[in-house]
Structure 1
Amino acid sequence: MIDAINTALRRLPTWVLYLLGSLYPVWLLYLGMTGGLGADPVKALEHELGERALQLLILGLAVTPLRRFVGVNLIRFRRALGVLTFTYVALHLLVWLLLDVQIVSQILADIAKRPYITIGMAGFVLMVPLALTSNDASVKRLGRKWKRLHLLTYPAAFLGGLHYVMLAKGFQIEPLIYLTVIVVLLALRLFGFVVRSFVALRV
């Protein structure tokens, strides 16, 4: 079963993921313009983009555990997942900036005074260098520094999950589930790093 899944994944070109990921925001925009996103389309668009970004981020974090513990190999799609995650986060931010708040002074005040916005912006800032170096030229130019730089993925992921939890009004289980999954995936990566370090010291 796993072999069949991996065979099918090898036949799937990465451009399909980019295409589908690019079409979804267009579809959301169409729904917003035609009344398909409810009474407050701006808030709905903002929420949908943010939640899909978290889902893509989680899938990107799950690539290594899925290969290690389940045998499903999504490694060739990891860069596409990362680029799409950043794209959705950037669109989520743009909707908030241009369609929701709009007033520059209010934007700056919200970033400074509202902790969930401060945390969300911090996560976005951490993702910027990741997006800028998600290409073969950067990998070659940076060498070993590229992997160290892309460790920023982990705090950015945690901040994204925390942003969603703090954004929710009252006790809501869904944001907590997202944050829990992110923490578990980060813990698995940390555990793997500790084990590899221990084995290297023993050798």
Structure 2
Amino acid sequence: MRFLIVTLTITPLRDLFGINFLRYRRAVGLLAFFYALMHLTTYLVLDQGLDVAAIWADIVKRLYITIGMISFAILVPLALTSNNAMIRRLGGGAWARLHRWVYVAAAAAAIHFLLVVKSWPMEPVVYASIVGLLLAYRAFKRLRGRRPRRLAST
């Protein structure tokens, strides 16, 4: 969650305060993916002992695991296309559209974290709130940019 939040924070920092960390966004995004991969590996190996039937049953039975798997599945193509060769191959527009899926992955990760806890400690609530705020910022920015401009009266 932390790496996803840092990744999502880079654009608002640039837009609102002129602080430009764009060159680090790809590295931080890959850190988010590798952390998620280690989290998933721990679950698959240590919790489930690589028992495919038990893993599948858990995915189907537990909503938080289903949502976590969806989030991870979204992060895989993002990580695989986070290199200069893939950016050139896909073209900037297609690559950017694909990488907007990080918003869905972050929301799903926040929901996964909220659902995994048995009680309501502050940490997952704070993280989910931060993700919600960052996604709301982007939605507001996008809607504001699409608003038709009024023509000046002559």
Q: TM-score, normalised by structure 2?
A: 0.92
| Equivalent AA in structure 1 for residue 131 of structure 2 | I
Moved segments of 4+, more than 6 Å:
none
In the other structure, the counterpart of 1:81 is 28
What amino acid is aligned across from residue 87 of structure 2 in structure 1?
V
Q: SS at the partner of 1:171? A: coil
Counterpart amino acid of residue 85 in structure 1: A
User: How many residue pairs are counted as aligned between the two chains?
Assistant: 148
The one-letter code of the counterpart of 1:127 is L
Q: Which has the higher helix share?
A: 1
Rounded Cα–Cα distance in structure 1 between residues aligned with 2:69 and 2:43: 12
Displacement after TM superposition at 1:101 (Å)? 1.5
Partner residue of 1:109 out of 57, 67, 92: 57
Q: Does 1:57 align with 2:1?
A: no
Aligned to 1:194: 143
Q: Percent identity?
A: 45
Query: C-alpha distance in 2, partners of 1:140/1:195?
Result: 30
Map residues 49-198 of structure 1 onto 2, 5 A cutoff: 54-102=1-49, 103-143=51-91, 144-198=93-147
| Deviation per residue, 1:8-59 (Å, 9 max, x gap) | xxxxxxxxxxxxxxxxxxxxxxxxxxxxxxxxxxxxxxxxxxxxxx101000
CA distance in 2, matches of 1:175, 1:61: 17
Q: Which amino acid aligns with 2:35?
A: Y
1:73 positional shift: 1.3
Distance of 1:194 and 1:139 partners within structure 2: 26
TM superposition shift of 1:71: 2.2
Offset at residue 70 of structure 1 (A) = 2.1
Structure 1 spans left out of the alignment, 5+ residues: 1-53
Q: CA RMSD in A?
A: 1.2
Q: Shift in Å at residue 113 of structure 1?
A: 0.3
C-alpha displacement of 1:120: 0.2
- Which amino acid is the alignment partner of residue 93 of structure 1? L
> Which runs of 5 or more structure 2 residues have no equivalent in the other structure?
none
Q: Which amino acid in structure 1 is aligned with residue 54 of structure 2?
A: Q
1:120-143: CA deviations, max 9, x gaps? 000101111101110111111111
Q: Deviations over 1:154-202 (max 9, x none)?
A: 000000000000001122221011001001000101111112222xx43
Counterpart AA for 1:59? V
